[in-house]
């Protein structure tokens, strides 16, 4: 399909504002001005049709099953969109809160922040939350900065952060970006053992970043012992909340001894991810990390009024210009109010039930490397199919032809030909059964007719795309100077 730039016709009228009375030269000297910017010229219908047609080339949760492991692509209820668009929220300028006495003009917004933080604290068992981080990885970076501030305040000299080999790639990247050396700990039978941790855990370790259940979908059964070992070294324990959907109502990470946690609201709490963002990655902390939270914090006065507190001498400072992705966590707040404690627990139960059902029904058709009770996701492997030349990638593309989005493939890195599957709680049994049946059929075709799978997908708007060519030729704008 042609790009908007290729469709542009000079002089075609778009959605123009009124004509100015003056020329720009009347106000700003010519030498400070530019020539044309090269924006496209289209009619409103041209634009509407272009983007409508583009949308039809996309899979979203509303159109297709999206079992993308570690990403929790559940259905997001529609009413939360209405909440975020309410003019009382959408039209509110963020600096209004910084004017003298103007906290009175944003009491509703401050209340949303305060209440969302309270609900998240209860959900996770943490002492306090900040809503400032704008994505999960941004929450991780904030978390690592909090670790650094904690150790700096205590006079600790610590230079390392430990990440398991199954960690999300963002964990080691966040630790490194914040200035730490990254040490890897190997998992055994899919989980971290106290022995393996002991090998890397020394006095220089500032913190350990864990995902529990981990990216293999397994609960860390040595968790209590690991927590004790880590705290003995005065290291902090970080919880990567990407897999939070597996434990709501069943485990609170604060009660379990974690010091810092980030949540991916777009994964667990019903906020859509928009094709890659925006997200929201609030960070919760235990009592001893609380003094270091980012500026500012919303506090409540005895008379019920809310205000912004900037007085935090030990704070890591500002990680966002204002209060994070407010419009996103408004939706998460509404989602939590709607589901309540029973609904959130039930969501977790549904997700775990569906994942185990799927794992069990697939076990005779695909290798399941860790075939035991899993949490909300599990890992299958196409190693058997690979013997016939059908790789995880081919299975993924064949699933696209069947009308499903593919699972996450080739992650975690420690499993060969990995397919990480996460059905979520919102898909009904018919959809789950159809997906399983399609995967079984693909396994059968892999035996008899492998080349058919290597040609997939055939039903999408384009056939299999050449990613190597893209990286080599690097055409990333419509026109390169």
Kindly indicate which of the ranges 197-205, 284-292, 382-390, 472-480 contains the residues binding other proteins, using the contact rule CB under 8 A. Answer: 472-480
- By CB under 8 A, name the one of 164, 241, 282, 294 that touches other proteins: 294
**Between helices 170-177 and 136-154, what is the axis angle to 10°?**
40
What b/e readout covers 220-255, taking b as 16+ CB neighbours within 10 angstroms? bebbeebbebbeebebbbbbbbbbbbbbbeebbbbe
User: Is 361 an interacting residue with respect to other proteins (CB under 8 A)?
Assistant: yes
Handedness of CA 287, 134, 377, 345 (dihedral sign): positive
Residue 272 binds other proteins (CB under 8 A): yes
Three-state DSSP at 365 gives: coil
Backbone φ, ψ for residue 108 (5° rounding): -65, -45
Three-state secondary structure call for residue 400:
helix
For other proteins, which stretch binds (CB under 8 A), given 93-101, 231-239, 296-304, 414-422? 93-101
Q: Which is nearer to other proteins, 15 or 301 (CB)?
A: 15
Please choose, out of 55-63, 192-200, 229-237, 283-291, the segment that lies near other proteins by the rule CB under 8 A.
Answer: 55-63
Pick from 174, 170, 175, 256: which is nearest to 212 by CA? 256
Among 225, 234, 308, 327, binds other proteins (CB under 8 A): 327
Q: Is 345 in the site for other proteins (CB under 8 A)?
A: yes
Q: What is the largest CA-CA distance in the chain?
A: 76
Taking the alpha carbons of 27, 28, 34, 38 in that order, is the dihedral positive or negative?
A: negative
Pick from 87, 155, 304, 313 the residue near other proteins by CB under 8 A.
87
Mutual angle of helices 429-448 and 392-401, in 10-degree steps: 120
Distance CA(125)–CA(285), nearest Å, equals: 9
* Contact present, 336 and 269 (Cβ < 8 Å): yes
User: Which member of 164, 190, 207, 279 binds other proteins (CB under 8 A)?
Assistant: 279
Pick the binder of other proteins from 238, 292, 323, 366 (CB under 8 A). Answer: 323
Among 155, 301, 342, 364, binds other proteins (CB under 8 A): 342
* Shortest distance, position 135 Cβ to other proteins, whole Å: 4
As given in the structure block, the two tokens for residue 470 are 């893209």
Question: Least separation, in Å, of the C-beta of 441 and other proteins?
Answer: 19
CB of 25 to other proteins, least distance (A): 10
Contact stretch for other proteins (CB under 8 A) within 228-236, 338-346, 380-388, 438-446: 338-346
Binding of other proteins by 301 (CB under 8 A):
no
Contact segment (CB under 8 A) with other proteins among 12-20, 197-205, 382-390, 437-445 equals: 12-20
Q: Does 36 bind other proteins (CB under 8 A)?
A: yes
100 burial class (0-12, 13-18, 19+ CB within 10 angstroms)?
exposed
What's the sign of the alpha-carbon dihedral 290, 291, 294, 299?
positive
Q: Which is nearer to other proteins, 37 or 301 (CB)?
A: 37
Decide: is 17 part of the binding site for other proteins (CB under 8 A): yes
> Alpha-carbon distance 290 to 130, whole Å?
10
| 135 near other proteins (CB under 8 A) | yes
> Does the footprint of other proteins cover residue 137 (CB under 8 A)?
yes
Q: Note whether 210 and 220 are within 8 A (CB).
A: yes
Residues 6+ apart with CB under 8 A from 382: 366, 367, 390, 391, 392, 394, 395, 417, 419, 446
- What is the total count of residues that contact other proteins (CB under 8 A)? 207
Is 251 a binder of other proteins (CB under 8 A)? yes
Question: Is 138 an interacting residue with respect to other proteins (CB under 8 A)?
Answer: yes
Counting contacts by CB under 8 A, is residue 371 touching other proteins? no
Q: Which of 156, 200, 204, 221 is the binder for other proteins (CB under 8 A)?
A: 221
Report the site for other proteins in 187-216 (rule: CB under 8 A).
Answer: none
Question: Is the Cα torsion angle 339, 344, 349, 355 positive or negative in sign?
Answer: positive
**Helix, strand or coil, per DSSP, at residue 161:** strand
Task: Determine the interface stretch with other proteins among 197-205, 414-422, 444-452, 470-478 (rule: CB under 8 A).
Answer: 470-478
* Beta-ladder partners of 185: 164
Check residue 412 for interaction with other proteins (CB under 8 A): no
Position among 344, 392, 418, 446 found at the interface with other proteins (CB under 8 A): 344
Cβ(14)–Cβ(57) below 8 Å: no
Nearer to other proteins, 447 or 451 (CB): 451
Rounded Cα–Cα distance for residues 390 and 398 (Å)? 10
In the bound state with other proteins, the residue whose beta carbon lies nearer, of 272 and 369, is 272
List the interface residues with other proteins, window 147-176 (CB under 8 A).
148-149, 169-170, 172-176
Q: Which of 154, 288, 338, 387 binds other proteins (CB under 8 A)?
A: 338
- Site residues for other proteins, 423-462, by CB under 8 A, read 425-429, 455, 457, 460-462
């Amino acid at each position: 399909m042609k790009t908007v730039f290729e469709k542009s016709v000079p002089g075609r009228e778009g959605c123009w504002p009124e004509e100015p009375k003056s020329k720009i030269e009347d106000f700003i000297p010519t030498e400070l001005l530019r020539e044309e910017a090269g924006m496209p010229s289209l009619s409103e219908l041209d634009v509407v049709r272009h983007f409508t047609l583009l949308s039809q080339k996309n899979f979203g949760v509303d159109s297709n099953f999206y079992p993308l492991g570690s990403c929790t692509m559940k259905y997001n209820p529609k009413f939360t969109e209405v909440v975020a668009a309410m003019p009382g929220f959408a039209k509110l300028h963020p600096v209004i809160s910084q004017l003298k006495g103007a906290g009175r003009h944003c009491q509703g917004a401050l209340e949303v922040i305060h209440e969302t933080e309270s609900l998240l604290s209860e959900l996770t068992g943490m002492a306090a939350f900040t809503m400032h981080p704008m994505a999960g990885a941004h929450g991780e970076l904030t978390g690592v900065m909090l670790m650094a501030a904690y150790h700096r305040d205590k006079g600790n000299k610590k230079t390392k952060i430990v990440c398991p080999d199954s960690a999300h790639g963002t964990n080691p990247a966040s630790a490194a970006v914040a200035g730490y050396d990254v040490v890897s700990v190997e998992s055994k039978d899919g989980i971290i053992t106290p022995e393996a941790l002991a090998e890397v855990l020394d006095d220089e370790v500032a913190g350990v970043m864990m995902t529990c259940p981990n990216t293999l979908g397994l609960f860390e059964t040595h968790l209590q012992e690991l927590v004790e070992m880590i705290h003995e070294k005065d290291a902090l324990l970080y919880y990567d909340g990407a897999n939070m959907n597996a434990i709501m109502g069943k485990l609170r990470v604060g009660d379990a001894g974690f010091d810092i946690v980030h949540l991916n609201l777009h994964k667990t709490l019903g906020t859509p991810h928009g094709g890659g963002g925006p997200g929201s990655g609030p960070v919760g902390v235990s009592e001893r990390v609380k003094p270091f939270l980012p500026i500012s914090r919303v506090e409540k006065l005895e008379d019920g009024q809310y205000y912004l507190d900037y007085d935090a001498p030990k704070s890591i400072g500002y990680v966002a210009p204002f209060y994070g992705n407010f419009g996103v966590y408004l939706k998460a707040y509404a989602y939590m109010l709607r589901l309540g404690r029973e609904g959130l627990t039930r969501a977790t139960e549904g997700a775990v039930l569906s994942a185990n059902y799927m794992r069990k029904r697939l076990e005779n058709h695909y290798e399941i490397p860790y075939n035991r009770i899993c949490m909300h996701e599990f890992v299958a492997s196409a190693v058997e199919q690979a013997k016939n030349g059908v790789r995880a990638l081919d299975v993924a593309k064949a699933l696209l032809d069947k009308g499903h989005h593919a699972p996450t493939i080739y992650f975690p890195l420690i499993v060969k030909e990995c397919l990480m599957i996460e059905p979520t709680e919102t898909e009904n049994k018919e959809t789950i059964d159809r997906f399983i049946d399609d995967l079984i059929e693909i396994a059968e075709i892999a035996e008899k007719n492998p080349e058919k799978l290597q040609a997939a997908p055939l039903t999408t708007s384009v056939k299999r795309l050449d990613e190597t060519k893209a990286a080599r030729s690097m055409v990333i704008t419509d026109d390169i100077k």
